[in-house]
Amino acid sequence: MDFGERNVMRSFRMVAVASVMLVSCQGDKGGAPTATPEKSVSISTVMRENIVPGSEVLWNAVGETYEGDKPVRIAPSTPEQWKTLEDAVRTMKQGLAHLEKGKLVVAAPGEKIQGDGVADAPQAAQIQARIDADSAAFKADSKAMMAILDQFDAAVGARNVDQIMDLGGKLDEVCEACHRKYWYPDQKVIP
């Protein structure tokens, strides 16, 4: 994959993350959410506090840029940078685990998501109806993301920058497939 293709992929991932944020509510990041069978953590909260920040770290950890006319590879090189990747993977896994513990709820009662009341923006009730119609498929998508994160764990542990780059694309595909099903299924794909 050449530099131009990587920039296109990175731009595409940024658009995907921005789309996710349309359904994420605003607020502070008070740590990992907690869920019990009696108390569900909203998907919006997990996206905002776990998935979006973690995926940003993973997607931005490796790549190429240019300084003048010289290509420069971006990759973690210090123990602190590798720990940041480990933490990102762990945070994302924690969020996914919380979704397994309780009822799948897009937004908690009273919780606003971005786009609430905005014409043509996905509304929490619409997204909830899509998930409720096939919650098993939603959980399967969550497990697919967990499988990618397991691979990230191995790649980070092995300090395998090339594999981390490849897994970034796979993570993007898993994210985008879920978003197309539940968040914006009516959106036309631009060729």
Yes or no: say if 54 and 92 are a contact pair by the CB < 8 Å rule.
yes
What is the torsion angle, in degrees rounded to the nearest 10, for the CA atoms of residue 54, residue 115, residue 186 and residue 12?
A: -40
Phi, psi of 133 (to 5 degrees): -65, -25
Q: What is the pLDDT along the chain (191 residues), one digit of tens a residue?
A: 444 444 434 443 433 333 333 333 333 344 455 444 446 789 999 999 999 999 999 999 999 999 999 999 999 999 999 999 999 999 999 999 999 887 899 999 989 887 888 888 889 999 999 999 999 999 999 999 999 999 999 999 999 999 999 999 999 999 999 999 998 887 766 65
Cα separation, 177 vs 183, whole angstroms: 10
pLDDT in tens, 71-121: 999 999 999 999 999 999 999 999 999 998 878 999 999 898 878 888 888
Q: Which of 62, 103, 109, 53 is nearest to 82 (CA)?
A: 62
List of residues 6+ apart from 100 with CB closer than 8 A: 139, 142
Say if residue 144 is exposed, middle or buried (CB neighbours under 10 Å; 0-12, 13-18, 19+).
middle
List of residues 6+ apart from 99 with CB closer than 8 A: 35, 41, 43, 46, 139, 142
Sign of CA dihedral 131, 136, 140, 189: negative
Q: List, in sequence order, every beta strand (DSSP E) within the chain.
A: 63-67, 70-74
Site of tokens 């602190």: 80
